[in-house]
């Protein structure tokens, strides 16, 4: 049995005018989980993660992080979490080391500890070889690595990442994954969003699928697989699937009721 969830929401909703971007979402994420929040573009992932981290107010619903109500304890919560939101703006006129030290100081680390961790993080992220380079001159992938480094410098209990692998090359992605897996093995909880099934399937132990603002599935990969198979046995669509496990893509397509249309789409493209 689980103890209390590390992240929980009840009826979490956000409207933008007439659009219900996030619709009555009940999330349960437990300590130590590597949790993937999966959904197509526009499903409501970024809106949800902004609400979970106090960057955007919900229209309605409750959020508890580490047992604290986010609406009444925003400062205590923010001290214990790290966030890399979408389109994060970094302070460009600093070097990487200056930026990370600044981030550490903002989280209340003393000067010495902040500088030491900044140097270690730059080394780990393979950003240490051009110490004079300003953040504004960093490539997109380098900025993403730096943003992640800044989000973990205070040793957060929970890390929230919005599409952390977008626009990141394979080498940088490997570095990011190594850092995240290290954090998980030391007991942190990670909540990441992605529209890329393979990323979630490879990294995450637990998954929630959001579609048009609504949570359509939630659980461990094994639980999702079992649920989908119970509804529609593998091979029921005519494809013979001898004793093969459903991939997350197949689970996803069945849960959101989609079909693969790549063959008929945009035939005029050639
Ligand atoms: N600030 C905003 N104003 C109006 N609509 C928004 C705003 N932010 C997001 N939306 C809309 O909410 C829906 C969900 O967006 P988002 O959470 O960014 O999706 P995802 O991250 O899953 O791609 C989309 O239809 C998007 O256009
Ligand atoms: Mg998004």
Q: Which atom of ligand 1 is nearest to the CA of 41?
A: 23
Q: Which atom of ligand 1 is nearest to the CA of 50?
A: 17
Domain range 7-90+138-269, CATH architecture: 3-Layer(aba) Sandwich (3.40)
Q: What is the pLDDT of residue 137?
A: 92
- How far apart are the CA of 194 and the centre of ligand 2, in A? 8
pLDDT band for position 234 (cuts 50, 70, 90): low
Q: Alpha-carbon distance 244 to 79, whole Å?
A: 44
* pTM to 2 decimal places: 0.90
Ligand nearest to the CA of 45: 1
Ligand nearest to the CA of 166: 2
134-163 confidence digits (pLDDT tens): 999 998 889 999 999 999 999 999 999 999
pLDDT band for position 18 (cuts 50, 70, 90): very high
Q: Which atom of ligand 1 is nearest to the CA of 162?
A: 21
- Are residues 30 and 5 in contact, defined by beta-carbon separation less than 8 angstroms? yes
* DSSP for residue 244: P
pLDDT band for position 257 (cuts 50, 70, 90): confident
- How far apart are the CA of 43 and the centre of ligand 1, in A? 8
The domain limits of the chain are 7-90+138-269
* DSSP for residue 134: B
54-111 confidence digits (pLDDT tens): 999 999 999 999 999 999 999 999 999 999 998 777 777 899 999 999 999 999 999 9
- Are residues 82 and 117 in contact, defined by beta-carbon separation less than 8 angstroms? no
**Segments of 34-176 assigned E as strands:** 34-38, 60-65, 68-69, 81-84, 158-162
- How far apart are the CA of 53 and the centre of ligand 2, in A? 14
Residues above pLDDT 90, as percent of the chain: 68
- Are residues 37 and 189 in contact, defined by beta-carbon separation less than 8 angstroms? no
**Which residues line ligand 1 at a C-beta cut-off of 6 Å?**
16, 19, 21, 39, 41-47
Protein residues near ligand 2, an ion, with CB under 5 A? 45-46
pLDDT band for position 265 (cuts 50, 70, 90): low
Q: Alpha-carbon distance 73 to 24, whole Å?
A: 22
């Amino acid at each position: 049995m689980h103890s209390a969830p590390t992240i929980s929401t009840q009826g979490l909703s956000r409207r933008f005018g007439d659009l219900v971007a996030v619709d009555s979402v009940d999330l349960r994420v437990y300590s130590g989980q590597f949790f993937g929040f999966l959904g197509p573009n526009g499903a409501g992932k970024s809106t949800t993660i902004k609400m979970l981290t106090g960057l955007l107010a919900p229209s309605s619903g409750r959020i508890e992080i580490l047992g604290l109500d986010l609406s009444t304890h925003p400062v205590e919560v923010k001290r214990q979490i790290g966030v890399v939101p979408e389109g994060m703006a970094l302070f460009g006129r600093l070097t990487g080391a200056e930026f990370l030290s600044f981030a550490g100081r903002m989280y209340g680390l003393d000067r010495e500890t902040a500088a030491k961790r900044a140097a270690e993080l730059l080394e780990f992220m393979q950003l240490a070889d051009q110490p004079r380079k300003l953040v504004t001159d960093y490539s997109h992938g380098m900025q993403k690595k730096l943003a992640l480094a800044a989000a973990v410098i205070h040793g957060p209990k929970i890390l929230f990442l919005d599409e952390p692998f977008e626009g990141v090359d394979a080498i940088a992605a490997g570095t990011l994954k190594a850092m995240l897996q290290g954090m998980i093995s030391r007991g942190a909880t990670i909540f990441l969003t992605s529209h890329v099934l393979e990323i979630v399937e490879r990294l995450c132990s637990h998954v929630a699928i959001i579609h048009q603002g609504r949570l359509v599935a939630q659980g461990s990969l094994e639980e999702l697989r079992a649920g989908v198979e119970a509804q529609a046995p593998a091979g029921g669509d005519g494809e013979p699937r001898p004793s093969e496990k459903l991939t997350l893509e197949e689970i996803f397509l069945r849960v959101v009721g989609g079909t693969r249309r790549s063959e008929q789409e945009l035939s005029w493209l050639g």
